[in-house]
């Protein structure tokens, strides 16, 4: 397939190293990181605003990925936050070009996309949650996880956001008033895709047209992006299409903007032989298997952190004594903190479960803050978006300047601000990767290797 042209909303001003600034707006922190990581190549210096404050972004950063942290909020609160962040971007002249939603459609994907489309004035939104590198694909409008319909998977049964369907359009319709169109795989792979998108953009009424595209491969996502460029170049449109999806579609946008041969420069600053820290509170069983693989390889000492939860959602650590954890780390051991809740949450409401989850991550953040203040941490790996947000906010971090993406959906960068300032960090969604992912990541980090 012919390479997609460079997107005209990244004007080069005579130099490929000087693209215009643009924004990615994400519904959680790992999503903001995943999408920004696609643009790790010369001239872009992607920066992730942990708290949504774009004023902290370095002048060298052309890609500003903003964590809205709206996935865990109720609908009204999410709408207010998103509206304020969009206004902030507009006030400083940073154009929104990408809306990152969860690859398994958790949170409020319909609200996220429709609100951003309305406020940006986009005539059409190209929407695709596919992320082939992590097993997420869309066929006949249905979202599959490693070939299994989403609602039949562990992810679909998440107590915080359970699903009864895998139909993307049905999930988006939870937010009313959207004009939706499905484009199935045969059409995505046809020569008429661009013409179809232009026609949809021309016939859009007051509400933007949300075009749900099938995609099973990265090449399918490249076709969607190339067709989107055609809509952009159409003289009938004063505004450009908005792209919305997971990090898979973001990576296709990056491929369209730069020679992929210089993408993802795999270098990280740091010093070996300092102990690193892995932290997760993910509900995914995969996280346990990944840590077990690390432990079997002699790379880490696993320490379970157990939380008890009341009927009201209040959480507190019951095991172990955190002074023991601090002593273990101070002795130079690489440590994996695996947080679990010992109580049955199945009878609690989603709101109470959310409160408990927030308390768990906030307390984990305080543990990490103490460790960082008392020890020289060689690097930190955080599994799960909520966990990453809780830890980074508790330690006072404001942003992350990205350097590499050694594995799909696993960005690596340097923390800016707070008690972890200057520390190498890697993040990963709880459901991403296979049993070897953390082991492969640790071997990449400068703090990796056998324990001291």
Average pLDDT over residues 298-312: 89
Residues 166 and 31 in one domain: yes
CATH label of the domain that carries residue 290: 3.40.980.20
Residues 100 and 148 in one domain: yes
Q: For 197-245, how does the pLDDT look when each residue is reduced to its tens digit (9 = 90+)?
A: 888 877 766 677 899 999 999 999 999 999 988 776 664 555 678 999 9
Residues 177 and 118 in one domain: yes
Q: Among 262, 291, 320, where does a domain finish?
A: 262
Q: For 145-200, how does the pLDDT look when each residue is reduced to its tens digit (9 = 90+)?
A: 999 999 998 877 776 677 889 999 999 998 877 889 999 999 999 999 988 888 88
Residues 118 and 253 in one domain: yes
User: Residue 289's domain spans which residues?
Assistant: 276-444
Residue 9 has pLDDT above 60, yes or no: no
- 195 vs 199: CA distance, rounded Å: 6
Q: Given this model, what pLDDT does residue 249 score?
A: 96
In a domain, residue 380? The reply is yes
- 25 vs 244: CA distance, rounded Å: 10
Nearest residue to 258 via CA among 21, 40, 34: 40
Residues 225 and 105 in one domain: yes
Q: Given this model, what pLDDT does residue 149 score?
A: 94
Confidence of residue 246 (pLDDT cuts 50, 70, 90): very high
In a domain, residue 449? The reply is no
Q: Given this model, what pLDDT does residue 342 score?
A: 86
Q: Given this model, what pLDDT does residue 109 score?
A: 93
Q: Given this model, what pLDDT does residue 113 score?
A: 93
- Tell me how many domains the chain contains: 2
Residues 252 and 180 in one domain: yes
In a domain, residue 322? The reply is yes
Predicted model pTM:
0.82
Mean pLDDT: which of 89-93, 167-171, 173-177, 365-369 is highest?
A: 167-171
Q: Given this model, what pLDDT does residue 158 score?
A: 73
CATH label of the domain that carries residue 115: 3.40.50.10840
**CA angle (284, 289, 295) in 5-degree steps:** 135
Residues 214 and 316 in one domain: no
Residues 237 and 286 in one domain: no
DSSP-derived secondary structure for 213-235: E-BSSHHHHHHHHHHHHHHHH-T
In a domain, residue 145? The reply is yes
Average pLDDT over residues 91-113: 91
How far is the CA of 424 from the CAs of 143, 326, 381, 414, in angstroms?
34, 20, 9, 5
Average pLDDT over residues 397-403: 95
- Which comes out higher in pLDDT, residue 350 or 16? 350
**Cα 63 from chain centre:** 15
Q: For 19-49, how does the pLDDT look when each residue is reduced to its tens digit (9 = 90+)?
A: 578 999 999 898 899 899 999 988 889 999 9
Q: Given this model, what pLDDT does residue 25 score?
A: 96
Residues 202 and 121 in one domain: yes
Q: Given this model, what pLDDT does residue 452 score?
A: 33
Q: Which of 7-21, 280-294, 387-401 has the lowest mean pLDDT?
A: 7-21
Q: Given this model, what pLDDT does residue 273 score?
A: 57
Residue 435 has pLDDT above 60, yes or no: yes
* CB hemisphere CA count around 348 (13 angstroms): 19
Mean pLDDT, the chain, as a whole number?
A: 84
Q: Token pair of 263, please?
A: 């993408």
Residues 331 and 235 in one domain: no
Q: Given this model, what pLDDT does residue 204 score?
A: 65
Q: Given this model, what pLDDT does residue 27 score?
A: 92
Q: Given this model, what pLDDT does residue 65 score?
A: 97
Q: Given this model, what pLDDT does residue 234 score?
A: 60
Residue 264 has pLDDT above 70, yes or no: no
Average pLDDT over residues 296-315: 89
Q: Given this model, what pLDDT does residue 18 score?
A: 52
Residues 214 and 304 in one domain: no
Residue 86 has pLDDT above 80, yes or no: yes
CB distance 215 to 245 below 8 Å:
no
Residue 307 has pLDDT above 80, yes or no: yes
Q: Given this model, what pLDDT does residue 7 score?
A: 39
Percent of the chain with pLDDT over 90: 42
- 339 vs 337: CA distance, rounded Å: 6
Q: Among 262, 288, 321, where does a domain finish?
A: 262
Residue 451 has pLDDT above 70, yes or no: no
In a domain, residue 269? The reply is no
Cβ neighbours of residue 355 closer than 8 Å, sequence gap 6 or more: 312, 313, 314
In a domain, residue 104? The reply is yes
Q: Among 230, 262, 294, where does a domain finish?
A: 262
- 362 vs 395: CA distance, rounded Å: 10
Q: Given this model, what pLDDT does residue 270 score?
A: 45
Mean pLDDT: which of 6-15, 31-40, 172-181, 325-334 is highest?
A: 31-40
Residues 307 and 254 in one domain: no
């Amino acid at each position: 397939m012919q390479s997609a042209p460079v997107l005209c909303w990244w004007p080069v001003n005579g130099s490929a190293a000087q693209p215009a600034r643009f924004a990615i707006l994400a519904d959680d922190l790992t999503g903001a990181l995943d999408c920004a990581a696609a643009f790790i190549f010369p001239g872009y210096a992607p920066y992730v605003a942990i708290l949504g404050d774009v004023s902290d972004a370095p002048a060298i950063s052309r890609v500003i990925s903003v964590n809205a942290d709206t996935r865990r909020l109720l609908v009204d609160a999410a709408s207010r936050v998103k509206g304020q962040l969009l206004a902030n971007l507009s006030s400083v002249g940073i154009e929104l070009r990408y809306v990152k939603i969860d690859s398994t459609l958790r949170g409020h994907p319909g609200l996220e996309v429709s609100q951003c489309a309305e406020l940006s004035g986009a005539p059409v939104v190209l929407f695709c949650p596919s992320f082939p590198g992590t097993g997420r694909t869309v066929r006949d409008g249905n979202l599959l996880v490693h070939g299994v319909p989403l609602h039949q998977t562990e992810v679909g049964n998440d107590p915080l956001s359970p699903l009864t369907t895998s139909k993307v359009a049905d999930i988006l319709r939870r937010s009313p008033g959207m004009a939706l169109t499905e484009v199935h795989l045969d059409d995505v792979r046809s020569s008429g895709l661009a013409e179809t998108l232009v026609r949809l953009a021309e016939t859009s009424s007051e509400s933007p047209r949300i075009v749900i595209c099938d995609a099973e491969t990265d090449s399918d996502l490249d076709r969607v992006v190339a067709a989107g460029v055609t809509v952009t170049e159409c003289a009938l449109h004063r505004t450009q299409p908005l792209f919305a999806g997971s990090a898979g579609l973001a990576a296709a946008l990056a491929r369209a903007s730069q020679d992929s041969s210089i993408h993802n420069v795999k270098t990280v600053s740091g010093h070996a032989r300092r102990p690193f820290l892995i932290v997760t509170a993910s509900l995914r069983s995969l996280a346990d298997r990944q840590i077990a693989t690390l432990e079997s390889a002699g790379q880490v000492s696993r320490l379970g952190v157990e939380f008890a939860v009341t009927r009201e959602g209040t959480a507190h650590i019951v095991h172990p004594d955190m002074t023991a954890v601090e002593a273990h780390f101070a002795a130079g051991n690489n440590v994996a903190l695996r947080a679990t809740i010992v109580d049955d949450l199945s009878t609690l409401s989603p709101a109470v479960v959310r409160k408990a989850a927030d308390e768990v991550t906030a307390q984990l953040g305080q543990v990490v803050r103490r460790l960082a203040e008392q020890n020289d941490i060689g690097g930190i790996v955080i599994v799960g978006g909520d966990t990453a947000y809780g830890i980074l906010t508790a330690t006072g971090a404001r942003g992350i300047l990205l350097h590499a993406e050694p594995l799909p959906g696993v960005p690596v960068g340097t923390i800016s601000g707070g008690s972890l300032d200057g520390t190498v960090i890697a993040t990963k969604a709880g459901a991403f990767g296979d049993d070897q992912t953390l082991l492969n990541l640790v071997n990449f980090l400068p703090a990796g290797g056998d324990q001291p």
